[in-house]
């Protein structure tokens, strides 16, 4: 999966960070990986004192597995040189004045890429994850990648229902507090995703976001619940779709200042005239160098945003 590197952990309790400072170490909160036959890797987006997910290669390197904890004053990730890890006063003003904030869902609000998780549940995880990486990195048109991924496993209605029953949403630390604080301030919160509404509605339930504030794709099924494709009328089903959705939100609801928060190239596209006034890159799960460098502000955890809401 793009943005991941590391050293094998096997049964060890400590492993050196490779991309971050060499003096930092990892301590596994769980003694050993239960998939001992393959090495495990950790994300590059860990900072001092922060927790994140260990990514197990035995599970197709998906964003799952055991929790790990980076310690040491030098346990900061190696960031893209042009990334703005401190917001300018102009960007802070936009963030504080925003009357609407749009969040990407996969690898931003949630720890996982939803389509990758569903594909793994259906037995096609590795092949689909490779397409997801290409799509979020901007190397292929989004609609091409979405069609290709779905064709690899063609999820039925029962597949989706069974997946959701056994895999409740895994929210990133701090997102519930951030959404709660934004709503208390009177800021409207939206979920804008290239994922599927059927999988995002449970996320909205956890965050107290009304379904009308979800802009996402929709899986289509026939009368017996077999996969039929996805709704091509949704703006988010094609390249530039998030930008279209965000511009529509801003225009239709009359917002003066709107911010987009996400991790991928499709989120960055939302920052344009008539759309998002600022783009904040969340790099706590996936850290894509080109996207991070183009962002108005790069954050590795939501605490940075919570502190600047007021």
Give catalytic status of residue 267 as yes or no: no
Residue indicated by tokens 């928060």? 261
In a domain, 288, yes or no: yes
Q: Are residues 197 and 58 part of one domain?
A: no
Residue 26 domain boundaries? 14-71
Q: Are residues 181 and 298 part of one domain?
A: yes
In a domain, 237, yes or no: yes
Q: Are residues 290 and 175 part of one domain?
A: yes
Query: Which comes out higher in pLDDT, residue 37 or 278?
Result: 278
Query: What's residue 143's pLDDT?
Result: 87
In a domain, 293, yes or no: yes
Q: Are residues 197 and 63 part of one domain?
A: no
Could you tell me the pLDDT band of residue 127, with boundaries at 50, 70 and 90? confident
Query: What's residue 6's pLDDT?
Result: 38
Q: What is the mean pLDDT of the segment spanning 83-88?
A: 95
Cβ(182)–Cβ(309) under 8 Å? yes
Query: What's residue 136's pLDDT?
Result: 65
What's the structural domain count of the chain? 2
Q: Are residues 189 and 59 part of one domain?
A: no
Q: Are residues 300 and 211 part of one domain?
A: yes
Could you tell me the pLDDT band of residue 19, with boundaries at 50, 70 and 90? very low
Q: Are residues 48 and 178 part of one domain?
A: no
In a domain, 146, yes or no: no
Could you tell me the pLDDT band of residue 100, with boundaries at 50, 70 and 90? very high
* Least confident stretch, 133-142, 156-165, 264-273: 133-142
Q: Are residues 106 and 18 part of one domain?
A: no
Could you tell me the pLDDT band of residue 310, with boundaries at 50, 70 and 90? confident
Residue among 38, 104, 116, 277 flagged as catalytic: 104
Give catalytic status of residue 106 as yes or no: yes
Query: Which comes out higher in pLDDT, residue 113 or 158?
Result: 158
Residue among 38, 97, 99, 106 flagged as catalytic: 106
Query: What's residue 172's pLDDT?
Result: 97
CA 206, CA 179: separation in Å to the nearest integer? 10
222-231 pLDDT, tens digit per residue, is 999 999 999 9
In a domain, 2, yes or no: no
The answer on pLDDT for 189 being more than 90 is yes
What token pair was written down for 255?
A: 């917002």
Return the number of other C-beta atoms located less than 10 Å from residue 18's C-beta: 14
Cβ(257)–Cβ(97) under 8 Å? yes
């Amino acid at each position: 999966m793009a943005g991941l590197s590391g050293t094998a952990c096997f049964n060890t309790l400590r492993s050196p960070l490779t991309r971050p400072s060499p003096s930092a170490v990892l301590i596994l909160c769980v003694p050993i990986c239960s998939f001992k036959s393959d090495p495990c890797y950790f994300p590059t987006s860990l900072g001092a004192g922060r927790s994140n997910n260990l990514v197990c290669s035995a599970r197709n390197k998906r964003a799952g597995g055991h929790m790990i904890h980076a310690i040491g004053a030098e346990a900061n990730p190696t960031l893209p040189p042009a990334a703005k890890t401190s917001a300018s006063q102009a960007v802070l003003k936009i963030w504080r004045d925003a009357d609407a904030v749009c969040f990407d869902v996969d690898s931003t609000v949630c720890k996982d890429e939803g389509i990758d998780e569903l594909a793994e549940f259906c037995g096609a995880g590795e092949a689909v994850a490779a397409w997801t990486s290409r799509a979020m990195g901007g190397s292929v048109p989004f609609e091409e990648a979405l069609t290709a991924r779905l064709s690899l496993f063609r999820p039925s209605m029962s597949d989706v229902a069974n997946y959701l029953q056994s895999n409740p949403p895994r929210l990133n630390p701090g997102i519930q507090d951030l959404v709660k604080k934004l709503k208390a301030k009177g800021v409207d919160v939206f979920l804008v995703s290239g994922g599927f509404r059927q999988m995002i509605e449970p996320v909205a339930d956890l965050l107290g976001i009304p379904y009308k504030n979800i802009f996402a794709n929709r899986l289509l099924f026939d009368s017996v619940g077999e996969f039929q494709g996805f709704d091509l009328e949704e703006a988010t089903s094609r390249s530039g779709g998030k930008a279209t959705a965000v511009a529509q939100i801003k225009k239709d609801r009359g917002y003066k200042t709107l911010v987009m928060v996400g991790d991928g190239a499709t989120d960055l596209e939302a920052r344009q005239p008539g759309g998002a006034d600022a783009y904040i890159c969340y790099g706590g799960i996936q850290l894509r160098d080109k996207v991070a460098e183009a962002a108005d502000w790069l954050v590795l955890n939501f605490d940075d945003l919570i502190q600047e809401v007021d």
